[in-house]
Amino acid sequence: MAESTTGLNSTAVAFVVCMSLLMLVLPRRYSLVPMFAAACYMTMGQVVVLAGLNFSIIRILTMVGWIRLSIRGEWRIFPLNVIDRSILYWSVSSVAVYSILWGTSAAFIYKCGNAYDAIGLYFFFRSLIRNVDEIISAFKLFVWLIIPLAGFMLVEKHTGRNVFGVFGGVPDFTLVREGVLRCQGPFPHSILAGTFAAALLPFFLALWWHKNGRLVCIIGVICSTIITLTSGSSGPVMTYACAVLGFGLWRFRFEMRHLRWGIVVALLCAQLVMKNPVWFIIAHLGVFSGSTSYYRAFLIDQTIRHFDEWWLIGTKYEEPWAPLLTDITNMYVRVAFDGGLLTLILFIVLLKHSFAAVGGSLRRMKRVAAPIRDQRCVWSLGTALFAHTMTFLAVWYWDQNVVNWYMLLAMIAAVGTPMFAAAKNKLNVFDNSFQLESAAKPQLASS
């Protein structure tokens, strides 16, 4: 019989049991609540170890979620769209290349755990979230669930003690760097705590245009701002700024190609006048004292300079230059080092298809005269995706942020599914919910 150990305390056990029961019995629209609550209020220090496999509370709830989908017949996977397939290809490549690189069973198990998170969470959310109305309902639920978290972060800011320390995986006393308290709540690092909240900001902003949504919007924005600032980290502030910038580009949503090319030209021009490579612009983006923005630029620089040493199957960090990279605080670099160029390309392809799905969905919704409030909801998904892709320059997700990330991809896949079907069949196929709403409200509201 396999040996098993547990790191769950009595409170965590009660939490898991309660959330599991709720996940099994709640209506589909509200079944996201247990998973999001686990991301907000349980640390990664609470785990069950079975036969050498680590099951965090999020992984346990993922398994319960799949059981729910099977019992209730709520699976909605086939036919696979391009984002679904991209998730699978990227996950398989990550496992295969990393296992070849290290050649150990431990490496294979570790990457299988990552793939379990990616595939398990993504297809769980993919099956539960099916249209814009359900996405808006999810946004409202997130506001109410994040309010206590903002309160706990304020308490930590004023006392210097982390109430989540009792669960392990986080320190009891808040880290102070150059006089700045870096609050982290249940997250393993302050940057990850702030990023989690900052990436939710576009969701909350989208609620402003929905019925009875303005108060909820204001509450959500306040909570997101509190958590971002109390983290005391520059990265989350940059994520927050990207979210605000992206949402503010709403009026240019159908001219984004010109904007993208404009950015490319601006970067080329900047390179002509800069002494260092253009990616060292990142080195000047620190907000709080003690920021490590220069290191993040240096990390990118070293990765590009040593391309020939990692492109095939990644790197074990054993090369003479690798010790300089004490912490791989970049999602793209982490994917490249762990999986080589192939896995990095597949990850970028996933991002590309996700952005294309948002743009295609907005054009489709314009054609069928979908309400502006629904179009803003889809735009908020694109804004959140933009915020995440910029955040990946400063951090990689190995904590509760995976819930936020794969949920976003599932939402984008849900709104993009009719577009993918139309492109595949070369038919003018649109989402029924949009057609019904546009028929009931033929007048397009002003932006």
User: pLDDT tens digits for the chain (447 residues)?
Assistant: 334 455 788 999 999 999 999 999 999 989 999 999 999 999 998 999 887 788 999 999 999 999 999 999 998 877 899 999 999 999 999 999 999 999 999 999 999 999 999 999 999 999 999 999 999 999 999 999 999 999 999 999 999 999 999 998 899 999 998 788 999 999 999 999 999 999 999 999 999 998 888 999 999 999 999 999 999 988 899 999 999 999 999 999 998 888 889 988 998 998 888 888 988 888 877 666 555 778 888 889 989 998 998 999 999 865 656 555 667 889 999 999 999 999 999 999 999 999 999 999 999 999 999 999 999 999 999 999 999 999 999 899 989 999 999 999 999 999 987 666 655 665 444 444 444 344 444 433 433
pLDDT score for 311: 95
Query: Regarding beta strands 175-177 and 53-56, do their DSSP bridges make them parallel or antiparallel, or are they unpaired?
Result: unpaired
Helix axes 82-102, 105-128, angle to 10 degrees: 170
Question: What does the block give as tokens for 191?
Answer: 């940057």
- As beta bridge partners, residue 48 has 6, 55
Q: Which of 15, 54, 51 is nearest to 166 (CA)?
A: 15
Helix (H) or strand (E) holding 372: helix 372-391
Terminal Cα-to-Cα distance of the chain (whole angstroms): 63
Q: Which phi and psi (to 5°) does residue 339 adopt?
A: -135, 5
DSSP 170: S
pLDDT score for 407: 97
Whether 441 contacts 371, CB under 8 Å: yes
